[in-house]
Structure 1
């Protein structure tokens, strides 16, 4: 529609021409501008108000989709709100006597790997230890102290070098509560002596993820404050804490659903204690301390859980402290937001009736202009997201390739949205979503080729800088999440067949062949479908089992459903599911829009802090400008970034899809090599060099944080090396 701004420069002749039809590109207007000219396309379009009349369209794909449910809170596991501890009893050395260091001990050389010591079943911290190390790509071993003996053979290699650069205790005494209120260590005194001797000799730091501030098995110089125990508090970094948690802003970290033991420092001979995090009363909840034998230790007196915000926010800094900033892998954070079905029209929910409108919704040129300004405001407002841009996942069958590109006179076009897309083409990331959004679970090769390669052709005709190696199929179809009885007769209609996760092995081979032939290498998938992501490696993608040239990257669904254009419609869909009386009731009342954004941004924050590069996805309906400069998609982005920026300064990466695919594939190859034990690093702390070793055939990428070279991310440098055999790299520990 016509922009809602004063157009005094336009003559009555031009307005009459608009009523008669689209001008021919190259026709000069009485303003001196030529629609579609270089000067026109180099002009920033003016912002316009919300549309009151949707622009006319015909022969545009109409998209009906499924509602993909995302859990309303990020708490799938048992929360440690009752994770109580107490002073532990250490059994005398029944399993192990103290051992002397071997004669060939090389105390300056340690493998780049971490040892996690667990107390076995019911362990409070094992999930958190795994999560924080996986998020940073740090190799680790887990020793179950209730089943395995900790002797020197588990700590020192045959050549005398150390097996581990750091040690994590899931609780400081590795307790087993054999009877209520009785806490017994699963390591005996000889095992503790062996561990402490190793840490002292090899200068290995120790992190206790949760501990009672007492004296057993060793004294950290802290004492619990009687009666101060709580499961709800907050933690504020001290100046020393800011030096450990380098990315934190200094805002107090909320602690909920996690038992804690506020403590006060106690003078202990030979022990130097430095508080890192304190509660509102100034009592200590985290501290480093130096033992009389010189060992460096960090104790948290707050219980951890990988889905609780305080754990997620501390994880990055804890790993960097433990490893002295030198380790295999890296911790990198992302904000990728895909907008599906661009150029198409989609179902539109009536928030009053709960039914769909007869007329579908297709975003307008004015909406796209608004998104341009919303995106620009997001980048300028949030320093951590200075490179943010939306990925427009498009169906070219809904575009009009003959429409001229224009930033000023798009409203004269036969398809305003296409004209504005040509104007703003370099401001968004463009991803193939097939030509017509047809279901591809059961589709012949010719049609699949037309849908995939044909959409690339349309992108070329439109002049879009499309990612040439990336594809997201409609409804993520063709990847085995399907109706097993589907005969292909509903590929081009609105019937949403019931789906079952049949696995990637049931992918449509015609779709895979058509994608492969079109040069596609990266396939978007659905993170809510179990077979389409790798639970063993939470930051990895999946090599397609039927075609190893295709790499699958799961995307996070969002609880802003595909038929919502404004807050009222968003809430209607959400509360129909999660409010009392909904299909999956969860909350005790129907949420308002502010509450909805708060809950959804909690989920987004968990995903961002988790270090995975998986995109979130929404739909073109969600980009409707429901109020001046506002869309529900950007409301969600801003809510997530407001919450993230409150606590962390670590930059959020936004990659073009082809670059994202290449990064994810390289990262996955590296993580799988480390899991297989074929990728290693040996740190010589006398020379501050790391020998990287690839024990497998071929070349494998390896990332080294703390390298002297490479690129800076946050406070630490990391270097990526293509490795075959061995390579020595200089490092700088912190």
Structure 2
């Protein structure tokens, strides 16, 4: 017995020395270590690790990346992983992400160091995509399992997954199958190996059997915990987007810097105005600048009072508030043409508190350069010396102020610091206008505008224009100039078919952003069968990525055949079917989205500059960030900041933003929080064999984005 005890002590001592811990800390097993809130990501350039890295970037969770393909990368050794701070053992990373369970060569000292580090500090490891075999707690797939395509598979969260890291999901995890001719997903489905301590969190039916095989599960062995993922994915695929939050929560124990919520806000432009209609014979829009020489007869589309009532009822049924982006002159025109009557305006005024309202300028005038529309495409008019002729500041002021005053006269609950210009005009629009109208910034500042909408397809990054910060909006391919499904399909065909098929050929000229249809859509069914599912998938993709940017449609899409609702219903109902009640859609107004984007940008900048530090000791989390930068974190429910409750609940955790003065912020975790390491060195265990993981199959489609955000505004 004495000899066995001596051997254990020597092993512990060797482990202390290997990890660079102070030998004086003979009582290290009773010393609570410091664990930095940072993730170590080891990448081989594959799509699965890239997807996890993208999620960390999106949430604002700090990480250090080691690229195995670079010859100048750091070596992963004990000193790289751990040291001491003020005499206290420090683990530099709270989690480790590897491309697979062992991406190193046989007998690798780096894998040995990682194994010892994970054992010593109870650090979890994510195997981003690995082969099913006993080394990861699973049977070989040939033993009654499966290896192959899982396109269209209906995976599910297990009971353990719902009570664990994936409790924010309702249960279903459908795999995409967007093209019958392209392989999009590949997986190894297998059951736990005999005797393995393995808990499946996500599984799917094994083809040809009544059994289910693990896709994501936790393997506990040798004093370590691994999240074993046996399907390949990229950052855009829906199945990964559903699981991304849970992967981060598992590896961090629900204690990490950064946060994310799923947002869906919808702006309805041109309310009170009328939108010109697409002409299916001329392939242009009479009354707009795309019809040369004023061809055709305008046939405008405008909401009715019944459409407004439908919108109000729809909102109540779906828990979403629409942002009505309005042009007051549209109502004036209606009253002038109809003996002073505007039933739509009367209805919307009566129900004004049911909606949010945003200034869209009085007449929807183009506020950039003065347009020369003598030819298609239009161009900027010029002064005699050749300089650009700009719309004046006075004209811009009038558009902003007159619409504001008109809205106030109706009692619309406005936020005067929000503005959406007509066609996002005033800002640069290529190729005709290569810079902002210099008068725009002056007008925005003079009129107290702080938030200015931009078109995400042209101007996606938040920037400053005078006093205003931009809020990029996603255009939907539910066009402004259609009120009927057949019109929508006809215009879609014109844009997305080749010249040989009777289309515009735009898709041939700009193959980097659009793809030609293989054949024109049937105008009777093309909208419902092709356009709607595609738009649902694109918009839902933004939502699942935690992107707060709003989407925008037009009032014409709520009129006549009410084309917007199948898309909006698909996004909302699709989301509700996937997510639990503790993870609702967040529906913010424009200024709140703008604030969120500003905070995220400042936080990301501080992280990239190395100005943020955070660590956990026991049940205490300490974060230091630059003064003026709001700190964001995700913590267990019941966490405190000082003596106050921290954050607000979302997805089974609490998260939020806390202003920083540059001094450390201290968060206290509840007793129910996952335990922190209580000893620097637990009972010593022999390092397992370090055979590298075998190769795994990655379909070519996984290395590419599955859908395009290209949309005509």
Q: Label 1:361 to 1:317 Cα distance change in 2 as closer, same or farther (>3 A).
A: same
CA distance in 2, matches of 1:219, 1:716: 29
Aligned to 2:518: 588
Q: Which residue of the other structure, out of 146, 153, 156, is the alignment partner of 2:79? A: 153
- 1:131-530 equivalent positions in 2, closer than 5 A: 131-147=54-70, 148=73, 149-157=75-83, 159=85, 160-174=89-103, 185=104, 189-214=108-133, 218-225=135-142, 228-232=146-150, 233-243=153-163, 244-254=165-175, 256=177, 257-268=184-195, 271-281=196-206, 282-351=211-280, 354=283, 356=285, 358-377=298-317, 379=318, 386=319, 388-400=320-332, 414-441=341-368, 442-483=390-431, 498=432, 502=434, 506-529=435-458
CA distance in 1, matches of 2:463, 2:600: 12
Deviation at 1:370, TM superposition (A): 2.0
Q: Quick one: structure 1 residues 161 and 360, their matched pair in 2 at CA, closer, same or farther if it must change by over 3 Å?
A: same
Given the two structures, how large is their TM-score scaled by the length of structure 1? 0.73
Between the aligned partners of 1:482 and 1:588, the Cα distance in structure 2 is 28
- 3-state SS of paired residue (1:393): strand
Distance 1:291 1:190 in 2: 22
Aligned to 2:554: 619
Q: Is the 8 A contact 1:690 1:729 kept in 2?
A: yes
Q: CA deviation at 1:99?
A: 7.0
**In 2, Cα distance between equivalents of 1:327 and 1:220:** 27
RMSD over aligned Cα atoms = 2.6
Indicate yes or no: 2:668 matched with 1:730: yes
Q: Tell me the distance in 1 between the aligned counterparts of 2:308 and 2:316.
A: 12
Q: 1:347 aligns to what SS in structure 2?
A: coil
Residues 289, 313 of structure 1: CA spacing in aligned structure 2 closer, same or farther, 3 A cutoff?
closer
1:667 to 600, 603, 611: 600
- Once the two structures are TM-superposed, the CA of residue 412 in structure 1 deviates from its matched residue by 9.2
2:20 corresponds, among 62, 87, 102, to 102
| 2:680 matched residue in structure 1 | none
Q: For the Cα contact (< 8 Å) 1:370–1:625, is it kept in 2?
A: no
**SS at structure 2 position matched to 1:511:** helix
Shift of 1:443: 1.9
Q: After TM superposition, list the pairs within 5 Å mapping 1:537-552 onto structure 2.
A: 542-544=462-464, 547=466, 549-552=467-470
Compared CA separation, residues 107 and 543, structure 1 to 2 (3 A): farther
Change (3 A) 1:402 1:599: closer
CA deviations over 1:169-203 (Å, ceiling 9, x no partner): 133333xxxxxxxxxx3686110011111112122
Q: Is the 8 A contact 1:129 1:170 kept in 2?
A: no
CA–CA distance in 1 between the matches of 2:430 and 2:327?
21
In structure 2, what is the equivalent of residue 577 of structure 1?
495
Distance in structure 2 (CA, Å) of the matches to 1:508 and 1:624: 33
The correspondence for 2:568, drawn from 606, 631, 637, is: 637
Indicate if the aligned counterparts of 2:96 and 2:123 stay in contact, CA closer than 8 A.
yes
Determine if contact 1:166/1:205 at 8 Å carries over to the other structure: yes
Deviation at 1:295, TM superposition (A): 1.5
Question: What runs of 5+ residues in structure 1 fail to find an aligned partner?
Answer: 1-96, 175-184, 380-385, 405-410, 484-497, 535-541
* Structure 1 residue 360, shift from structure 2 partner: 1.9
132-141 or 223-232, which moves further after superposition?
Answer: 223-232
Distance in 2 of aligned mates of 1:703 and 1:273: 33
The alpha-carbon deviation at position 608 of structure 1 amounts to: 0.4
User: Given that residues 157 and 201 in structure 2 are in contact (C-alpha distance below 8 angstroms), is that contact kept between their aligned partners in structure 1?
Assistant: yes
Q: Which residue of 2 aligns with 1:15?
A: none
> How many pairs align?
570
Unaligned stretches of 5+ in structure 2? 1-14, 23-27, 178-183, 286-296, 369-389, 508-514, 640-644, 675-713
Secondary structure of 2:416's match?
strand
TM-score after normalising by structure 2 = 0.75
CA distance in 2, matches of 1:126, 1:614: 25
* Structure 2 counterpart of 1:703: 632
**How far apart, in 2, do the equivalents of 1:192 and 1:471 lie?**
55
1:618 is displaced (CA, Å) by 0.8
CA distance in 2, matches of 1:511, 1:353: 35
Q: Is the 8 A contact 1:98 1:190 kept in 2?
A: no
Residue in 1 that maps onto 2:294: none
What's the CA shift for 1:111?
Answer: 1.5
**Residue number among 34, 41, 47 corresponding to 1:124 in the alignment:** 47
CA distance in 1, matches of 2:47, 2:19: 32
Q: Match of 1:316, SS?
A: helix
Q: CA deviation at 1:524?
A: 0.8
Instruction: Quickly say closer, same or farther: Cα 1:155–1:421, change in 2 above 3 A.
Output: same
Contact (CA 8 Å) 1:469, 1:519: kept in 2 or not? yes
Q: 1:399 and 1:679, CA in 2 relative to 1: closer, same or farther beyond 3 A?
A: farther
Distance 1:191 1:368, change over 3 A: same
The DSSP-based 3-state class of the residue aligned with 1:279 is strand
Q: Alpha carbons of 1:402 and 1:526: their partners in 2 closer, same or farther (altered >3 Å)?
A: closer
Task: Report the secondary structure of 1:143's partner residue.
Answer: strand
The answer to whether the 8 A contact 2:101-2:136 is kept is no
Give the CA deviation at 1:391. 0.6
Aligned to 1:179: none
Is the CA contact 1:288–1:296 (under 8 Å) kept in the aligned structure 2? no
